[in-house]
Structure 1
Amino acid sequence: MWQRFSRGLARVEAASVGALILFAAIMLCVQITARALFNHSFSWAEESVRYAIIWMVFLSCGLAFRQDAHINIDVLRQLLPDPARKVLEVIIILACAVLAGLLVWFGGAMVATLYRFGQVSPAMEAPMYLFYLAIPVSGVLMLIRLGESLVRVLRCKPVAPAAPVLAG
């Protein structure tokens, strides 16, 4: 059941990120065309693209944890034997979970403050808390993926050795 939920969540995340990329690309093309051909500019276009990209980046973080695609330095991981490598993996996952928890905590506080004050964006006049909501949502998605990673590391006896670094 968890696997089905995880796959479904990954599909929703990927579709959301794809839709946001598509929206940003189309909106930028429309804005450029409107400026070049009609000498007209939409005041809200750049702002909407900026917020779409921010949401896209934050939503991508959870997917990156799911696919183990975040940048990492694995020299120490390559040098350690399997049991120590497993301990290191657990420590890394827990440290990332603490940081994701801080995103949820402080991001949620920021969203609540913006909601209370009713601040709106300059051009679109949309509530700013909707854009800042990307921070705690991303933190929750990362916590879900980090939990999956922790279970995977704890269940597996040896952690797969990292790929060798090719020099040259």
Structure 2
Amino acid sequence: MNSDPVPSNGIGFSIAGPLSGPASGPFCKDSPLKILTAIRTAERVAAVSIFLSMVVLYFSNVLARQVGGTFASDFAWVEEAVRLMSLFLVFFTVGLALEKGRHAGVHTWRDRIARATGLPLRKVIDAVGFVFCVYLVYLSYQMTAFVYGMGQKSPTLNVPVFWMYLAPTTGFALMALRYALSFFDRIDRFAGQASEEL
């Protein structure tokens, strides 16, 4: 019998559910866990890269303003670029925040209601959150397709505007993935909240 400890997912808690137990059912392989690990890595790399790029660009813009003249006007695009990058930074990290239980919520009320009523309130929250995020993905995609069809471009960056609408589409999709994994006990996104209340 295998007595090895359950491997950590790199975020501070272990993967719960069938992925850490015996192989059974359609999710018996390690592929879902490997895919999720790859997604986490991509999210972190993107977040760190975007944040560092924002710092470098904004610092360069401040230096250019100190120099002044035509040199400063060459950096007029930086502020809009940083605003656009901050949008992607937020939506690329909402999935990680949800997985770690860092979204705002009244945890004590939720758990008290669940104990008093006997309802699987966490499962209900995961199901409602998944449906809502999928709906927002649909709306974001529709808006992205509409703006793409219009062919609008940013006046300062001279890039298609539809790119910024891909940020919420991606972010809500990452949140929907976490809600689904939590619903099927593939991750425990409530572990961090429980440790904070102790």
**TM-score normalised by L of structure 2:** 0.74
> Structure 1 CA distance, aligned partners of 2:44 and 2:196?
30
2:53 to 20, 23, 26: 23
User: Aligned partner of 1:37: which letter?
Assistant: V
Which residues of 2 match residues 1-168 of structure 1 at below 5 A?
Answer: 1-39=31-69, 40-41=72-73, 42-79=75-112, 80-81=114-115, 84=118, 87-152=120-185, 162-163=194-195
1:134/1:73 CA distance change after superposition, 3 Å: same
**TM-score normalised by L of structure 1:** 0.86
Q: Secondary structure at the match of 1:71?
A: coil
* Deviations 1:76-132, CA, capped at 9 Å, x for gaps: 2332439936x1101111221122112211100000001100011121011011111
Gaps of 5+ in 2: 1-30
How many residue pairs match? The answer is 162
Conserved? CA contact 1:78–1:162, under 8 Å: no
Structure 1 residue 162 displacement after superposition: 3.4
Structure 1 residue 26 displacement after superposition: 0.7
> Structure 2 CA distance, aligned partners of 1:164 and 1:107?
34
Larger C-alpha radius of gyration, 1 or 2? Answer: 2
CA RMSD of aligned residues (A): 2.5
Conserved? CA contact 2:130–2:177, under 8 Å: no
Identity of aligned residues (%): 25
